[in-house]
Structure 1
Amino acid sequence: MHMVWQKIRRRVIKKINQIPFVQHQADIAYQIAVENHKNYLPTISQDDLKLVEKIKNEGVVITSLDDLGILSSLQLIDSAKNLMVKMAANNSIEKNQFVIHATSPQLMEHPQIFLWGLEQRLLNIVEHYIELPIAYHGAYFRRDIANKLEIGSRLWHIDPEDRKVLKIIVYLNDIGESEGPFQYIPQPLTAKVAQSLKYTYGYIKNSTMQKVISPTHYRSCIGNSGTVVFASTGNIFHRGKPPEASDRYTIFFDYTSRRKQDLNYINFTLPHKDLVLLSQNLSEQQQQCLFWQKNLK
């Protein structure tokens, strides 16, 4: 009953936000907030600025852990490999189940995974993309089951959490076309498709998507283990292509601004008590990204 009420509430809020006057006022407030934050953006390298511009222009950038050169990536991969073994041993797959997430206790056994998403360099890149103080929502360790189910995040959608949503996806096994790559429709085409479908939010079947755009325009992010995908999932149609040849193992790191469009979409990957434990050696800025809801605007 609670889930039904949440869905109804989301629809109502979405409808209210689409009222021209409400939308106009929200646009003005957003632009003022972005302008006010310009002078507070962190200093980043020219290479990272180019990465941010590519995300803004194209919606997706594909790189690798090696190319990023973040020192803690070694601990990330070691922890991920250990957790993959435990995840692979889980054979209790229910009917119509397409994904298995690592549990909170499993993530707490491997804190390096969650903490990688709080690396200062990554936070700086994300903040330059979002252009506002950012919120870190945590890490999702996923095992996507190799089957042909087309449900949930395997359907086309645009993330509704915020005006700008950034996800950093790390591949933990080699991903080709048959291993369920992250797929997207380039940003300029997404706007046209959304207009054709009169899309506001929700999931779109692939068969429906193919009626308005040719699959030749789909872009698949393929790559070896260690591939990293920066995806502006609040501005592009995207999905996880259903894996067929083998299960897909990934970690998703999620970020938005602290000016949430819809509080119903707030998600935390770990309980508050675990966040407190993990935050003990973090800088003040990292803690603000983690406990951003305390100062929600």
Structure 2
Amino acid sequence: MRTLVRYGYVPFMLLAINGAGITIAASGGSKLWLLGLLLLAIASSFVAERVLPYREEWNTPHDDDHRDTAHATVNETLTLASLIVVPVLTALTPFDSLWPHEWPFVLQVLAAILVADLGITLVHLASHKIPVLWRLHAVHHSVKRAYGFNGLMKHPLHQTLETAVGFAPLILLGLPTPVAFALALCAAVQLLLQHSNVDYRVGPLRTVLALNQAHRFHHLKWAGIGDVNFGLFTLIWDHLLGTYSYDPERRFTSDDLGMAAKPNYPNDYLAQLAEPFRASGACTDEPQPEDVTHRQPDAATH
């Protein structure tokens, strides 16, 4: 069973769950089936984390389970609401003829993923460089363990910003609504995989796909050191931007996660919504540890 999870969990999520969602969206099936697939993906994430955990203690709530459930519920509801207005927005764009409607549906989804990934990567990068954006993004970096639901734990304003920038070019090009729904499911599945507490293996694909092995480096708590691996779906843009980092020998514990400059970040859901607007929500530089062995970018904002 552990071997099955180690090598089969990622293909199941990326190919089976996403594949089923793409098929449903292409056929015009009920969107309730997509919701069912999302719930199946969440359940699969929790099962896999218990069969083959990266760290056993990360499966134990750190007084954060109810908070993370609130974040996930609010943010996925916002995502659904944003998809409802896609047809309205695409109807207003003068460039809808630029969308490759003649392509096979799966290729349209893959193209949408790459375009959205670029926008999200750039917003993510900016959120580590611009103090007002970091205030919002810091909510996500306050985590002390990495598990599937962490991916859905974001300040709703930051989630809205990432979604808007990621979808804006697609909307201008006339993104079809079925493609938008498939993209939204793929994004939710990706967030579960990216933060998953599963010791899975993907071989050389770890340098291309933005999965948990590389994303853990993004959650290193010291200023500047975590300013790497910003991609949601892929690490292609990180390679091009020079922000890719990976050390196959590095192992992570809760002591490596969070924010060294803000170790006592509020843990309550409502307090986290308010923290970016308080004086205590500002950025503070933190000295870097001397024993970090992987490449350190020049930036130092958290």
Q: If the length of structure 2 is used for normalisation, what is the TM-score?
A: 0.29
TM-score (norm 1): 0.29
Choose between structure 1 and 2: higher helix proportion. 2
